[in-house]
């Protein structure tokens, strides 16, 4: 009985000083009013956009560096499968961008995963209407590991940059925010890989591009959980 | 009518214009609201007012550091809600971890429990502290210096400006008082203080 009542008394006493400390802290913080004016919401969105654009450029450059420039690049770029792959991945990247932007702000608009729908539908459509007769496992036995591995590697710079950008925001759900960063980075990595990819089968793209992007998203979630906590 | 949302959002805009007083008032009002919110919840978890204040400060600092992430065109309260919720969840996780750590006894402690003679050590310490507090000032100083700080009789005498004999005498009287208090305690073990 008595130790309990004694403790209660002590804590009331400490509470008073604690409250004074809080008031001191508030006065201290208030003196910094107006010192963050240059980091408004608009500039964050613009910075995120620049980061995404830069990520794509870096990923494409890295693709050329790792896989070389194909001799038939221009012809490939005019082909339907290539354009389909670019459309899918960039549509996913746009959705990912919106999700990242939302995850950077406390109490965001609660944007749903529906923004990914255009990209997913394009991918699924390509898979469902795949009449190329090409194997799901690609042209050779190592197509799948090469493709998935390449997209993951090409996504890493984008993932690092996107998480760096998110750290300047304020994610109240670090794991989710990290996953969105991974989604954006994975989609950008996949978009870059299209210039080197020789597997044009719609089903191959639908399955293995998605798998690679999901792996990067999982990686992003794991990193974000720690890196985006504050 | 001026709503809370309206007033606070306006204060946040004032902060961006560098208006210290408005921002200070805003933080004070938020701190009060947080205290009301957290106090009840922490009490249920068995935690004290001190932890409440720590948590209030932590949330205020978080809000301050991340205040640029509020879009002036969007509502303020949902933004604040998300931050408070995030920080509370974080604190709850930490408290759970600490509680688990405190409860996690080692094998050594477990063995020591049966090896040593049964004595409620913590309870004894708390009681000693309480009884020492109840001594007259002179005796309390001597007991604290000798028994708790571990000073020598000579050093204590010098510090208090008396002779060694006087210190020994005072200690003797203090110990008698403490022994008497301990007897009383034993005879009447559930005597409440409050």
Q: What is the least distance, in Å, from the CA of B127 to any CA of chain A? A: 8
Q: What is the ipTM of this complex?
A: 0.76
Residue B69 burial by Cβ neighbours in a 10 Å radius (0-12, 13-18, 19+)? buried
In chain A, pLDDT over 70 holds for what percent of residues? Answer: 87
- A189, A196, A184: which is closest to A154 by C-alpha? A189
Do B193 and A106 count as a contact with CB atoms less than 8 A apart? no
Of A12, A25, A29, the CB nearest to B49: A12
| pLDDT at residue B99, as a whole number | 80
Of A5, A12, A36, the CB nearest to B193: A5
Q: Give the list of residues 6+ apart from residue A151 with CB closer than 8 angstroms, or none.
A: A186, A189, A190, A193, A209, A212, A213, A216
Calpha distance A197→A67 (Å, rounded): 9
Residues of A with CB below 8 A from B75's CB? Answer: 107
* DSSP sequence for A42-98: HHHHHHHHHHHHHHHHHHHHHHHHHH---TTHHHHHHSHHHHHHHHHHHHHHHHHHH
| pLDDT at residue A56, as a whole number | 95
Residue B11 burial by Cβ neighbours in a 10 Å radius (0-12, 13-18, 19+)? buried
Structural domains for chain B: 4-103 (1.10.1740), 114-187 (1.10.10.10)
The answer to whether the predicted template modeling score (pTM) of the entire model surpasses 0.80 is no
Residues of A with CB under 8 A from a CB of B: 1-3, 5-7, 11-12, 14-15, 18-19, 21-23, 25-27, 29-37, 39-41, 44, 104-108, 169-170, 172-173, 229-230
Q: Ranked by mean pLDDT, which of A78-82, A164-168, A216-220, B31-35 comes out on top? A: A216-220
Of all residues in chain A, the one with the smallest CA distance to B46 is A8
Of all residues in chain B, the one with the smallest CA distance to A34 is B18
- Count of H helices and E strands in chain B? 9, 0
Do B68 and A5 count as a contact with CB atoms less than 8 A apart? no
Do A31 and B28 count as a contact with CB atoms less than 8 A apart? no
Do B126 and A3 count as a contact with CB atoms less than 8 A apart? yes
Residues of A with CB below 8 A from B132's CB? Answer: none
Calpha distance A210→A212 (Å, rounded): 5
Of B57, B82, B83, the CB nearest to A25: B57
| pLDDT at residue A226, as a whole number | 92
| pLDDT at residue A74, as a whole number | 83
Does residue A14 surpass a pLDDT of 50?
A: no
Do A23 and B16 count as a contact with CB atoms less than 8 A apart? no
Q: Which residues of chain B have pLDDT under 50?
A: 188-194
Q: What is the least distance, in Å, from the CA of B70 to any CA of chain A? A: 7
Calpha distance B80→B30 (Å, rounded): 9
| pLDDT at residue A38, as a whole number | 55
Calpha distance A132→A107 (Å, rounded): 46
Provide the token pair at A211: 């798998």
| pLDDT at residue B93, as a whole number | 86
Best residue in A4, A18, A33, A230 to probe B by mutation, most B CBs within 10 Å? A33
| pLDDT at residue A97, as a whole number | 94
Model confidence over A91-150: pLDDT tens digits? 999 999 999 999 988 887 666 888 898 999 998 888 888 777 677 777 777 788 889 999
pLDDT band at A61; cut points 50, 70, 90: very high
pLDDT band at A48; cut points 50, 70, 90: very high
Does residue A37 surpass a pLDDT of 60?
A: no
Do B49 and A11 count as a contact with CB atoms less than 8 A apart? yes
Query: Is residue A186 helix, strand or coil?
Result: helix
Residues of B with CB below 8 A from A170's CB? Answer: 66, 69, 83
Provide the token pair at A158: 């984008």
Best residue in B66, B78, B129 to probe A by mutation, most A CBs within 10 Å? B66
């Amino acid at each position: 009985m008595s130790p309990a009542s004694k403790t209660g008394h002590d804590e009331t006493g400490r509470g008073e000083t604690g409250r004074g400390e809080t008031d001191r802290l508030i006065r201290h913080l208030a003196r910094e009013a107006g010192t963050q004016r240059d980091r408004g919401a608009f500039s964050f969105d613009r910075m995120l956009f620049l980061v995404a654009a830069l990520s794509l450029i870096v990923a494409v450059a890295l693709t050329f560096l790792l896989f070389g420039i194909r001799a038939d690049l221009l012809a490939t770029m005019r082909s339907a499968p290539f354009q389909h792959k670019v459309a899918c991945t960039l549509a996913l990247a746009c959705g990912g961008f919106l999700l990242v932007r939302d995850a950077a702000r406390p109490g965001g608009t609660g944007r749903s995963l529906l923004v990914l729908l255009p990209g997913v539908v394009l991918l699924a459509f390509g898979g469902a209407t795949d009449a190329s007769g090409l194997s799901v496992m690609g042209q050779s036995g190592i197509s799948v590991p090469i493709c998935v591995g390449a997209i993951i590697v090409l996504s890493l710079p984008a993932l690092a940059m996107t998480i760096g950008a998110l750290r300047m925001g304020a994610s109240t759900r670090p794991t989710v925010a990290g996953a969105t960063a991974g989604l954006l980075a994975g989609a950008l990595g996949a978009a870059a890989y299209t210039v080197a990819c020789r597997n044009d089968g719609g089903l191959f793209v639908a399955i293995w591009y998605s798998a690679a992007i999901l792996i990067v998203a999982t990686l992003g979630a794991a990193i974000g959980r720690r890196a985006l906590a504050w | 009518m001026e709503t809370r949302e309206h007033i606070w959002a306006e204060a946040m805009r004032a902060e961006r214009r560098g208006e210290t007083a408005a921002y200070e008032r805003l933080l004070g009002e938020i701190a009060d609201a947080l205290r009301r919110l957290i106090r009840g919840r922490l009490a249920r978890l068995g935690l004290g007012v001190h932890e409440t204040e720590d948590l209030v400060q932590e949330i205020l600092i978080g809000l301050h550091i991340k205040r640029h992430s509020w879009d002036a065109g969007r509502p303020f309260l949902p933004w604040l809600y998300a931050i408070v919720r995030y920080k509370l969840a974080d604190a709850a996780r930490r408290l759970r971890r600490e509680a688990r750590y405190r409860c996690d006894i080692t094998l050594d402690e477990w063995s020591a429990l049966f090896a040593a003679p049964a004595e409620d050590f913590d309870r004894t310490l708390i009681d000693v502290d309480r009884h020492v507090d109840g001594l007259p000032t002179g005796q309390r100083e001597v007991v604290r210096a000798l028994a708790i700080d571990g000073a020598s009789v000579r050093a204590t005498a010098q510090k208090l400006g008396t002779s060694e004999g006087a210190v020994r005498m005072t200690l003797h009287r203090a110990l008698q008082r403490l022994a008497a208090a301990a007897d009383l305690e034993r005879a009447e073990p559930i005597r409440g203080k409050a």
